[in-house]
Structure 1
Amino acid sequence: MFAEERQQLIVGLITASGRASVTDLAERFSITTETVRRDLAALEAAGSVRRVHGGAVSPDRFSTNEESILVRTDQRQPEKIRIAEAALALIPQDGTGSVLIDAGSTTESLAELLAARTAATTAISGPVPELVVITHSLPIAARLSAEPGIALHLLGGKVRGLTQAAVGQSTVEAARRIRPDVAFIGTNGIHAAFGLSTPDPEEAAVKAAFVQSARRIVVLADSSKLDAETLVQFASLKDLDTLITDTKPSPDLADALADAGVEVVVA
């Protein structure tokens, strides 16, 4: 295979998955890691990829990039629904206990499924004990506010327009005063060394408070978030109990998750 042809294939792989490691590319094309690095250097010079530690990412994948919640809601919907279905199975159907649902498009899918399940259960069995649901997300609160069987607690603060989530010191302080049974957390990146991260410092502060407050931490992250690093770290892998995703993590990330004792559920 000519170098130009191989490089075109590398660009296609990185465009499709968002990232590729040097070792994976070397194995895939049966070439040395030094050859892969030369290919990536040539592709970076052409503006086709951006090199990072251990591999390369799409050229538009910067640490501060963040799309609005309206845009993200329409992306990767089948994967997000599968992840949400796996997360829903962790919430007791008898309505007991308390859960925290972080802002995000995948967590919104969880809220949608939770609302549908609660409505169906109430229709069949009549009134059930209310499940306490805590959130700082306006879209999630709007979806759950009128559902029977759900006692909704909305954490206040300054609303960040891009994510429609409350942020700021008042939100952080409110999060520190609660102790939910389980928190379903969204993330913009989950990385073997850097842990969980998000582009905005105020969002990161709220997420960090959620992680420290809940008894059990379940992260919902589709495969585009795996091996990604964004600007601000808000948790280490050791802070997590479970990761629910839609594809098997890369070897480096899988090893780091196993070392941290994180259960990985591939939906």
Structure 2
Amino acid sequence: MYAEERQQAMAQLINAERRVSVARLAEDFSVTTETVRRDLSALERRGLVRRVHGGAVPVDALAPTESGLNERDQHNTDAKEGLAAAAIALLPAPGSTILLDAGSTTARLVAALPHDHQLTVVTHSVPLAARLAGNPNIELVLLPGRVRPTTQAAVGADTVAALAEIRVDMSFVGANGLSVEFGLSTPDRDEAATKRALVAAGRRTVALVDSSKLGLESTHRFARLSDVDVLVTDAGIDAVERSELERHGLEVVVA
């Protein structure tokens, strides 16, 4: 097979499967990983794929647009349910204080909270606060700030300032992308600043990130891997990726 034929076949596979590792491409096309990386670089220059750490994704996988909360809630629902259940097992002891990031996965975590587990919950998410407000075992703290319509969460200087004044037992955060090289990221600058403060406020930080976002990089980094203690993801993570994340100090929990 000529190089151009191989590259075209690689591009077709990546667009069909949405995310393919360098190791998988090397095995499928019987070439070295160095050859695969050269092929991916050539495809990226032609605008056919986007390279990410450890592999490649279609060009539209890293689009700068950000889905609204209601739209995101309909995607990967089974994986998010699993992530929420796994996160419940990580909750600190009754009487502790936790921080909850905005997002469709943390919404499922809230829905799964045990009724007899007393907690103080701090959040910047309006929908999460509305769900928690009637729970007699939850002392709810709603953070101030400007509410972004996209995420229905408070962001900005007031939110960041309020987070700088607190310390919690555990922070639960989501991300639009997570890669070894770039860390955890999100498309919006204000959202990133708020997530950065959420991470800094926690004695331990748990990232809830489904496997479709692993290897992806969004515009604004809010945490390096070293800032996070535990990654909760789903069974879509491959063994090589998991090993590399663990090598960088992350405890990986597969839901």
Q: TM-score, normalised by structure 2?
A: 0.87
Q: Which moved more, 1:61-70 or 1:77-86?
A: 61-70
Tell me the residue number matched to 1:232: 220
Report the secondary structure of 2:60's partner residue: coil
Tell me the residue number matched to 1:69: 69
Measured against aligned partners, the alpha-carbon deviations of 1:133-181 in whole angstroms (never above 9, x if no partner) come to 1110111111111112111111010011111110000000111111110
Report the secondary structure of 2:109's partner residue: helix
Post-superposition offset of 1:8: 5.2
Preserved contact between residue 7 and residue 39 of structure 1 (Cα < 8 Å): no
Quick one: structure 1 residues 239 and 41, their matched pair in 2 at CA, closer, same or farther if it must change by over 3 Å? closer
What pairs with 1:124-143 in structure 2 (closer than 5 Å)? Answer: 130-143=118-131
Post-superposition offset of 1:43: 5.8
Given residue 209 of structure 2, which amino acid in structure 1 is its aligned partner?
A: A
What pairs with 1:189-208 in structure 2 (closer than 5 Å)? Answer: 189-208=177-196
Post-superposition offset of 1:251: 5.9
Given residue 11 of structure 1, which amino acid in structure 2 is its aligned partner?
A: Q
Count the aligned residue pairs.
Answer: 254
Given residue 29 of structure 1, which amino acid in structure 2 is its aligned partner?
A: F
Tell me the residue number matched to 1:100: 99
Q: TM-score, normalised by structure 1?
A: 0.84
Measured against aligned partners, the alpha-carbon deviations of 1:91-126 in whole angstroms (never above 9, x if no partner) come to 25x632111110111111111111xx21xx4xxxxx
Post-superposition offset of 1:225: 1.0
- Please list every run of 5 or more consecutive structure 1 residues that lacks an aligned counterpart in the other structure: 122-127
Given residue 86 of structure 2, which amino acid in structure 1 is its aligned partner?
A: A
Given residue 96 of structure 2, which amino acid in structure 1 is its aligned partner?
A: G
Report the secondary structure of 1:50's partner residue: strand
Preserved contact between residue 11 and residue 49 of structure 1 (Cα < 8 Å): no
Preserved contact between residue 25 and residue 36 of structure 2 (Cα < 8 Å): yes
Post-superposition offset of 1:4: 6.0
Tell me the residue number matched to 2:12: 11
Tell me the residue number matched to 2:27: 27
Using the alignment, how far apart are the partners of 1:41 and 1:97 within structure 2? 48
Measured against aligned partners, the alpha-carbon deviations of 1:41-91 in whole angstroms (never above 9, x if no partner) come to 776588653345653212212362311111000100000000100001112
Q: Which moved more, 1:197-206 or 1:240-249?
A: 240-249
Report the secondary structure of 1:247's partner residue: coil
Post-superposition offset of 1:29: 3.5
Preserved contact between residue 63 and residue 231 of structure 1 (Cα < 8 Å): no
Tell me the residue number matched to 1:88: 88
What pairs with 1:115-154 in structure 2 (closer than 5 Å)? Answer: 117-118=114-115, 121=116, 130-154=118-142
Report the secondary structure of 2:194's partner residue: helix
Tell me the residue number matched to 1:78: 78
Using the alignment, how far apart are the partners of 1:137 and 1:193 within structure 2? 29
Tell me the residue number matched to 1:210: 198
Using the alignment, how far apart are the partners of 1:134 and 1:40 within structure 2? 44
Given residue 234 of structure 1, which amino acid in structure 2 is its aligned partner?
A: F
Given residue 19 of structure 2, which amino acid in structure 1 is its aligned partner?
A: R
% identical aligned pairs: 49
Quick one: structure 1 residues 84 and 34, their matched pair in 2 at CA, closer, same or farther if it must change by over 3 Å? same
